[in-house]
Structure 1
Amino acid sequence: MSKSILRDPSQEDPLAASEARQDHLPTADQRPPDAEMARVLNTAPLRMALDPSGGAIAHWKHEPLHDVVEPMSHHVIMAYNGSIQRMERRSGRSVAIGTFRPGVVIIIPEGSSSRWDIPKPVDVVQLYLPHTTLARVAGEADMAAPGILLERTAHPDPVTSRLLLTAADALESNEVLDTLFRQQLTDLLATRLLAAHTGSPTTIPPVMGGLAPKTLLRAIERLRSDSDADVSLATLASEAGLSRFHFCRAFKESTGLSPHAWLRQYRLEQAMTMLRDTDSSVASVAAALGYASQTAFAAAFRRLTGDAPSDWRRRAR
């Protein structure tokens, strides 16, 4: 009778394991990650932000899990945010035992399948990353073509963990800001995965300078637009004649802020001007700046200033 092989994840050959688990899975049998997670977790996400590329960021809270996660069509990267607990992940004859804690990541490569045994409730943020996005970022960053993404079980990576956990709180129910943030974060995480979690880790080239003054002015004019102008990273980068990867790095080199952080600061300044210099209601200010509700605007304003909009207005006048 065959016998399970118990392995410490730190001693396992992660590249061989990942290749073995992904090598024979037909694409047609792979499920969308959001649908598979909803099935296996038997709940809906607290929040999920979808991207036209097919990627997404989702925040889940779910009960203990004892089930098989079937092959999915995207890479799934998770950051854990909860009490420390031991868990098991079984793939074929291999068993990985890990400890969930803040600062670790879990990676389920596209097309792989495993059984999970998690004894306690879980609070987790997940990134669903199409392999095409990983390949695009590698090409734009002048890195080698991405190899096999390694399977990780409670693997220490505070950088990736912090970036993902931040995403759960950074979405503001503002379509323009949230889209720009999600696109930046996805590209940043893809870069991190290429550098730290593939069979052939690659080095990220250094920043080679900022945007030309006229190019920077055009980008800022588009970000400031009050119309329905497209402020996606793809459009901003295309107008600058750069890839998304190089545009983001050059924009930050020029301004000290990422495109999303710059736009968020600009919207905050607009909000302050409207609150201080007009009698517009807080709800009207929220609508004018593209927030889905007064509540969403107030929460975003408080995160940046420490005050509710109405309290800030009283002190500013």
Structure 2
Amino acid sequence: MTEPLLRDGPESLPPSSEARQANQPSTEHRAADVEMARVLGTTPFRMALDAAGGGIAHWKHEPLHDVVEPMSHHVIMAYNGTMQRMERRSGRSVAIGTFRPGVVIIIPEGSSSRWDIPKPVDVVQLYLPRTTLARVADEADAPSTDLLERTAHPDPVTSRLLLSAADVLQGNEALDALFRQQLTDLLATRLLAAHTGAPAPVRPVGGGLAPQALRRAIERLRSDSEADVSLAALASDVGLSRFHFCRAFKESTGLSPHAWLRQHRLEQAMNMLRDTDASVVSVAAALGYGSQTAFAAAFRKLTGETPSDWRRRLR
């Protein structure tokens, strides 16, 4: 499974970003996170990247009056702040829009524009590699991968999906990575259907997993916290693309792979808290959480109680 880079700001630029920037040939475009850090003049509030620079970042930055240079990823943004007017210039083309919740901004790979935003901004960004969009398009039989440039374009569906990533990182590497993979593929599917030069509905896929395939997927998800539970590994096990696996798994179980694994980890936690004297710290570590605080927050989000309170009530 691709190792993600997780950062909660404010901090200096993540080492992987600095390394990519230092090694970037002058004839090539910058990775999206590197260019955004340069133009915004700050560090992300939170960011999760894979080795290819794809991922999700939550930025809170000051007014912007600068040119965003061409990047090596498609960048999709969802605005999460107070309403304000802004201006975007690409060559002789000028777009004037209104930033407000429910709108999206799309900067296709390789494009460049000047931005004039008069007030502070709170925005969640998706960095989408061209190869990821091409893979999803192939799996979904989408006719085009040419994303349209969008400026404060109304799309509450895409906006809501992307903003949901701002507070879902739970401090559990397997869960967080699986969520980002699912969300990225879902967003890519939505972009292909609504924001390409030849938009068309993605062909629906019916039917669930065969019983043997479902058993294999669940066996992998139930394995220990060091196992590879990436979408790529799960789909490969049953001979499906990631796109078709996610749809078939949900058809069979009623849950996405991420939601199923989260529920399974919660059941494991409850069993350990009820049936053993293991400390909350030990339970958190056994289930792959980076800290007791992260585990407690995830447990409370699903049950309404802290692990300690839940244990005391059961005993």
Asked if structure 2 preserves the Cα contact closer than 8 Å seen for 1:103 and 1:157, the reply is: yes
1:37 alignment partner in structure 2:
36
| Aligned AA (2:306) | A
Give the Cα–Cα distance (whole angstroms) in 1 for the partners of residues 173 and 119 of structure 2.
Answer: 35
TM-score of the aligned structures, taking structure 1 as reference length: 0.89
1:73-88 paired onto structure 2 within 5 Å: 73-88=72-87
Give the Cα–Cα distance (whole angstroms) in 2 for the partners of residues 291 and 88 of structure 1.
Answer: 43
The yes-or-no answer on 1:283 pairing with 2:281 is yes
Counting matched residue pairs gives 291
- CA deviations over 1:264-298 (Å, ceiling 9, x no partner): 01001111111122111111111111011111111
Deviation at 1:85, TM superposition (A): 0.9
1:226-305 paired onto structure 2 within 5 Å: 226=224, 228-305=226-303
1:60 alignment partner in structure 2:
59
Q: Which runs of 4+ in 1 moved over 6 A?
A: none
Task: Give SS of 2:205's match.
Answer: coil
| Aligned AA (2:312) | R
Unaligned runs of 5+ in 2: 1-24
Q: 1:307 to 1:123 in 2, by over 3 A?
A: same
Asked if structure 1 preserves the Cα contact closer than 8 Å seen for 2:225 and 2:287, the reply is: no
Q: 1:272 to 1:97 in 2, by over 3 A?
A: same
1:212 alignment partner in structure 2:
210
2:183 alignment partner in structure 1:
185
Deviation at 1:144, TM superposition (A): 2.1
Give the Cα–Cα distance (whole angstroms) in 2 for the partners of residues 64 and 244 of structure 1.
Answer: 39
Q: 1:227 to 1:156 in 2, by over 3 A?
A: closer
Deviation at 1:27, TM superposition (A): 9.6
2:306 alignment partner in structure 1:
308
- CA deviations over 1:105-138 (Å, ceiling 9, x no partner): 0000111111111111111100000111111001
Give the Cα–Cα distance (whole angstroms) in 2 for the partners of residues 270 and 250 of structure 1.
Answer: 25
Give the Cα–Cα distance (whole angstroms) in 1 for the partners of residues 141 and 278 of structure 2.
Answer: 49
Asked if structure 1 preserves the Cα contact closer than 8 Å seen for 2:209 and 2:249, the reply is: yes
Deviation at 1:227, TM superposition (A): 5.3
Range with bigger deviation, 27-36 or 259-268 = 27-36
Task: Give SS of 1:28's match.
Answer: coil
Task: Give SS of 2:196's match.
Answer: coil
Task: Give SS of 1:124's match.
Answer: strand
- CA deviations over 1:247-271 (Å, ceiling 9, x no partner): 0000000000000010001001111
Give the Cα–Cα distance (whole angstroms) in 2 for the partners of residues 242 and 199 of structure 1.
Answer: 28
Give the Cα–Cα distance (whole angstroms) in 2 for the partners of residues 234 and 244 of structure 1.
Answer: 6
Deviation at 1:312, TM superposition (A): 1.5
2:93 alignment partner in structure 1:
94
1:99-110 paired onto structure 2 within 5 Å: 99-110=98-109
Asked if structure 1 preserves the Cα contact closer than 8 Å seen for 2:225 and 2:288, the reply is: no
Deviation at 1:175, TM superposition (A): 0.7
Give the Cα–Cα distance (whole angstroms) in 2 for the partners of residues 215 and 39 of structure 1.
Answer: 46
Give the Cα–Cα distance (whole angstroms) in 1 for the partners of residues 247 and 58 of structure 2.
Answer: 27
Give the Cα–Cα distance (whole angstroms) in 2 for the partners of residues 299 and 78 of structure 1.
Answer: 27
Give the Cα–Cα distance (whole angstroms) in 1 for the partners of residues 116 and 306 of structure 2.
Answer: 43
Give the Cα–Cα distance (whole angstroms) in 2 for the partners of residues 121 and 144 of structure 1.
Answer: 38
Asked if structure 2 preserves the Cα contact closer than 8 Å seen for 1:150 and 1:199, the reply is: yes
- CA deviations over 1:4-46 (Å, ceiling 9, x no partner): xxxxxxxxxxxxxxxxxxxxxx993411100000011111111
Give the Cα–Cα distance (whole angstroms) in 2 for the partners of residues 174 and 124 of structure 1.
Answer: 24
Q: 1:105 to 1:236 in 2, by over 3 A?
A: same
Deviation at 1:51, TM superposition (A): 2.2
Asked if structure 2 preserves the Cα contact closer than 8 Å seen for 1:51 and 1:179, the reply is: no
Unaligned runs of 5+ in 1: 1-25
- CA deviations over 1:170-208 (Å, ceiling 9, x no partner): 111111011111110110000000000000002211222
Asked if structure 1 preserves the Cα contact closer than 8 Å seen for 2:124 and 2:163, the reply is: yes
| Aligned AA (1:63) | E
TM-score of the aligned structures, taking structure 2 as reference length: 0.90
Task: Give SS of 1:137's match.
Answer: helix
Give the Cα–Cα distance (whole angstroms) in 1 for the partners of residues 62 and 257 of structure 2.
Answer: 37
